[in-house]
């Protein structure tokens, strides 16, 4: 489980370690949707988009307000993954 907040956009990112997905809650609308991973489908296939990728035990999150990237600690895929702010278009860091 992990939490990160995009304060300016008023969104909360939630990693669900057991269901292998990361969700975003829009505090203004109350709508929550999957932003990364395919819920209840664990894997290590990194696709072209975050929602097309499979995650394996995502845990810690950090939203970098400088770059607008969300960093996901993929505990059991042994890597750090990045995805840009929900609703924004941006190039990949590094």
Partner 1 sequence: MTVFAGTVGTLGYSNDGTQATKLNAPQSILILNGKMYLGTQMGLFQIDMNTKIIKALQYTNSRPVSGLAYQNGKIYACVMSNHYMFSVDLTNNFAVTSPVSGSDDVQGNIDGTLLQARYNRYAISCITKNHRLTGMTTNTNDGYIYIADTDNRVVKRLSVTGNSVTTWAGDNTNGDGRLASKARLSRPYAIAFNTLTGDTFYVSGNIFIPF
34 binds partner 1 (CB under 8 A): no
Among 65, 87, 88, 90, binds partner 1 (CB under 8 A): 65
- Which among 88, 72, 71, 82 is positioned nearest to 9, based on CA atoms? 88
Distance separating alpha carbons of residues 17 and 21, to the nearest angstrom = 7
CB of 77 to partner 1, least distance (A): 5
21 binds partner 1 (CB under 8 A): no
- Which among 90, 42, 46 is positioned nearest to 65, based on CA atoms? 90
Distance separating alpha carbons of residues 55 and 44, to the nearest angstrom = 6
- Binding residues (CB under 8 A) for partner 1: these are 1-5, 7-8, 10, 12, 14, 16, 18-19, 25, 27, 36, 44, 46-50, 53, 59-66, 71, 73-83, 92-94
């Amino acid at each position: 489980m992990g939490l990160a907040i995009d304060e300016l956009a008023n969104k909360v990112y939630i990693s669900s370690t057991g269901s292998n997905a990361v969700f975003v809650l829009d505090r203004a609308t109350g709508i929550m949707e999957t932003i990364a991973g395919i819920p209840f489908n664990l894997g290590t296939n990194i696709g072209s988009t975050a929602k097309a990728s499979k995650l394996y035990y995502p845990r810690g999150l950090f939203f970098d307000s400088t770059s607008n990237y969300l960093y996901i600690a993929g505990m059991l895929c042994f890597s750090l993954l990045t995805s840009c702010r929900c609703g924004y278009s941006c190039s990949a860091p590094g």
